A and B are shown apart, each in its own frame.
Chain A
Amino acid sequence: MLHNTKCECGHQNPVGTVLCESCGKPLDDEFGTAPLEMRYDGIARRSQRENPALIDRVWRFFSSVKVAIILIFLTLCASIMGTIYPQENTFLNVDPSVYYEATYGFSGKLYYLLGLSDTYGSWWYKLLLIMIGSSLIICSLDRVLPLYRALSKQQIRKHMSFLVRQRVVYQGQLPATGITAVSFIDGLVPLLKKRGYRVHSDGTALLAEKHRFSRWGPYINHIGLIIFLLAVLMRGLPGWSMDQYTGFLEGVPTQIENTPYYLENEKFTVEYYTEEELPEEFRGQGRAVPKLFQTKAILYECTADCSSDKPDLKQVHQQNIEVNKPLKYKDLLAYQFDFRQTIQIRAVNVSLTDKMSNQTYGPFELNTITPDETYVEGPYVLTLKDYYPEFALNDKGVPFTNSKSPLAPAFIFVIQGPGLAEDGEVFIYFPRDVDKQRFSQDKLNAGIVDKIDIGVGSMQDVSISRFTSYLNIRTDRALPYIFFGGIIFMIGVIMGIYWQHRRIWIRIDDENEITIGAHTSKNWFGIRKELSVILGKAGIVVEPKQLENGVKQA
């Protein structure tokens, strides 16, 4: 099919054009009276090609706002579904295939089977986001260039039917006899300029335009959204995001998994509100409302021997971590998450006493996390034969450890030295007095206990870890891009919504007949009022409401 797309003004328009690119004459419904559809100024867009090929069909699909609205609406509905029951990621150590049915019965089972228990991580939710992203890219490309073209080559004198079919229209005569068309137009120019319009005139016709940039608002905000969505997708790449919870016992540098970093919780502090600080309804209930918890943290980087018990650590950073005040070092973030009181002996400074000569050797440190193999004190050599962090005996009387935490540490030494057997004698040492009693240390050490003793001088020699601080260790390298996208989005939205692209066309025919059409991207109330004020100053009194197309002019 061949269209004659040449307008009567002589301009050759591309196929699909609705309003002549030059003079604005409606091309396909020349004799209508309804207000014109002014979106994109009636230009042709790729999505409106006839006889589309497959690629054009895809293009057309994604550039359609109707499809976009359906996609956004589907995402909205899917998001609602995901809030009905708690999502899987809110639990630790729960088997979802059992949990939902056990807790919510049949509807829970259905919820799980439909995949709604992990809505936001599901492939179809991601697919929806990807489709919105594609739609954003294609719809913007489809519109922005043609719109740019249309707005950059506007004619001043528009076709009559273009003007009278705007939503804001005025038709009348020059206000007083004696005024010429040219002087009337000239008189309007400063009035329009004062209100921020850029004015172009050709004697008896005028085009005033302001805030054209606001037309780019939607495209800029969509670009922001595209950046945002891309950044969200990038988080799925390996190394881009990490999220783990680790407990840090006071005074023990602990490796952050999959990183060369070690973090030491040097000291943990928790403060509670005092009774006086609490409001009345909270008082006297023995309720402990925490006011502050803080981890005094030191971050180390491992430089050598990283997989061994005794890695070489270099301090790289030091910071106090509080809720809302995470530790930040390069990409690494550590947030205060939780804490637990875990009273444990971290190390003891013991001395060895030769009971026969009453000589004391030491003190030397016994570390309960990574104890040394041998200790040489004076003439004595202690070899650590066995170490049980949480000592216990099974029903056959064989020792074993309950856990790796030093809750009831027991050191089993072989001691060699003066007055002892040639290849050494066994000595079992419990740092905690309770354990000493419970497992009868003296009885176990029968024989050697008369010659040798190991012990601490005072409580000062015992280092205790009182708390384990749980930190949430994170890396999110996409974060800057996510916020960047968010900022671009905001800029675009604000440009597009708080400013409006306004245009006023005026032409005077037969030296007397004024025709005015005006268009704004939003806020018709505003442009009617503005035009009414401007016309009033030029001697034409017209109520804002009368400027609305279809409202009778008095």
Chain B
Amino acid sequence: MSLEQWSENALLLAFILYNISFIVYVIAIAGKKWSNRDPIVHVRRWGRVAVTMTVIGLASQITYFITRWLAAGHVPTSNMFEFMTFLSMAIVAAFIILFWIYRLSALGLFAMPVSIILISYAAVFPKEVQPLIPALKSYWLYIHVTTAALGESFFAIGFAAGLMYLLRTIDYTSKTKESRKDSRGIEFTLYAIIVVIGFVLVSNGFKSTDYSAEFTQEVQQKDEQSGQLVPVTKTTVYTLPAFVQPANSKVVHMDSFLGMDQPLLSAPSWMKGIDSGKKLNTVIWSLLSGLILYWILRLIVRRPLGAIIQKTMGGIDADDLDEISYRAIAIGYPIFALGALIFAMIWAHEAWGRFWGWDPKETWALITFLFYTVYLHLRLSRGWQGNKSSWLSVLGFIVVMFTLIGVNLIVAGLHSYAGV
């Protein structure tokens, strides 16, 4: 077996173990009310099993990381697949660290799904080891990316604990405006998570059926030699059925999907670049599949999803959750500042000769930093705790995810400097 195969199998094993451990966390937490058992003993025993599985999974994922590093000859954090798997690994590690401090295995109930979803998300992207263009060959880049991801992983745990706090404390029986707002907010957050799951399912689903649709677009591009504008034909291949085709594009071919063999719409013309049409189409698919999944779940449980999750969470101390959420963010904040800003500046300085360039990704890292700065000030100096602070931790993680994924998906679409 080649090193690359080894590596892939180790990742698969980690993924399976994470899933099983998640189920064991559910058994540990939800099962304490089962008859003829002492709830405390039950939680302790099953919690220990779950954490042990998580740790073995983490070891397996570290094996993946090291073997892939050896196979590729460079630290595997240089494309979306590698970065997302690294982030998921860091999240599990951050969870273990916080578990080690607080001994609250219930945290795994939310920390593991975040990691699992990220690995599945990573699986959507090409897995191949890729060569590096010269700009990426700098150890500062690796230091920057890994440290930033580590910081973000603590924010992810802050998010998990914050969300748990909210689920634990929201009063579903109360009809006050605040509790309604909270419960709607929770449903929206859960929906957002389901959208990501929807994206993962749809992408991997159509990948396995080899769906494809191809479009071409003519753009005016400056010729390197003559400096004149010349028409160039660009091509894009969709792997999801096209609701939306790129702006001003022609259909080359399109597999039929449920009788749909032509795109329904065309992307608006201000969406430059052939890939922005594809991205828009992906966003539509994700939102739609998320909506369908969400409503299927709602129809099954016949009440807000938050209410059903809350049922499993009795007995967990809400103040502990609040404290864990804050602590995770406080631990992550310096790491994030160091990795995403200072190391990023050093790398940018080494590679591009400017330490800061207001590139959208860079700017969003700053925005994330400012957001958590606001969080800390509100908490330290204005006493925001509990509910408000938990909402900020949820929002903060959405900002993190937008920086990692949304910027590529949405902002960069507007930044495809095609044909200038």
Contact = CB atoms under 8 A, between A and B. Distances in A.
A289 B131 contact: yes
Interface stretch (A277-285, A379-387, A422-430, A438-446): A277-285
B420 interface: yes
Contact of B351 (A73, A89, A323): A323
Contacts of A335: 351-353
B355 A476 contact: yes
B131 A472 contact: no
A320 B80 CA distance: 32
B350 A523 contact: no
Interface stretch (B31-39, B250-258, B280-288, B359-367): B359-367
B337 A86 contact: no
B270 to A, nearest CB: 5
B46 to A, nearest CB: 22
B128 interface: yes
B363 A494 contact: no
Given A83-B364, A490-B342, A323 B134 contact: yes
Contacts of B407: 83
Contacts, number: 138
A324 B381 contact: no
Given A333-B353, A490-B342, A76 B382 contact: no
Contacts of B382: 65-66, 69
How many chain A residues sit at the interface, stated as a range, is 35 or more
B58 to A, nearest CB: 23
B224 A340 contact: yes
Given A83-B364, A289-B131, A324-B134, A497 B333 contact: yes
A39 B370 contact: no
Contacts of A337: 353
A239 interface: no
Contact of B417 (A89, A90, A524): A90
Contacts of B349: 479
Contacts of B101: 525
B314 interface: no
A474 interface: yes
B321 to A, nearest CB: 11
A87 B358 contact: yes
B342 A279 contact: no
A201 to B, nearest CB: 31
A277 B131 contact: yes
The winner among A279, A282, A337 for most chain B CB atoms within 10 A is: A279
A273 B323 CA distance: 52
Contacts of A497: 330-331, 333-334
Given A65-B377, A486-B342, A490-B338, A243 B320 contact: no
Interface in A56-90: 65-66, 68-69, 72-73, 75-76, 79-80, 82-87, 89-90
Nearest to B381: A65
A368 to B, nearest CB: 20
A322 B330 contact: no
A400 to B, nearest CB: 19
A243 B366 CA distance: 23
B355 A474 contact: no
Given A69-B382, A103-B270, A89 B131 contact: no
B135 interface: yes
A91 B420 contact: yes
A361 interface: no
Contacts of B327: 523, 525
Interface string B127-146: 01111011101101000000
16 contacts: A65-B377, A69-B377, A72-B374, A73-B374, A80-B367, A86-B415, A87-B358, A90-B417, A326-B350, A335-B353, A479-B349, A486-B342, A493-B334, A493-B337, A498-B334, A525-B320
Given A83-B407, A85-B415, A243-B353, 19 more contacts: A72-B370, A79-B367, A80-B367, A86-B415, A89-B358, A90-B417, A279-B130, A322-B134, A323-B134, A323-B351, A324-B350, A326-B350, A333-B353, A335-B353, A482-B345, A483-B342, A498-B334, A524-B323, A525-B323
Interface of B: 101-102, 126, 128-131, 133-135, 137-138, 140, 224, 270, 272, 317, 319-320, 323, 327, 330-331, 333-334, 337-338, 341-342, 345-346, 349-355, 358, 360, 363-364, 366-367, 370-371, 373-374, 377-378, 381-382, 407, 411, 414-415, 417, 420
Top 3 closest A-B pairs, CB basis? A335-B353, A323-B134, A65-B381
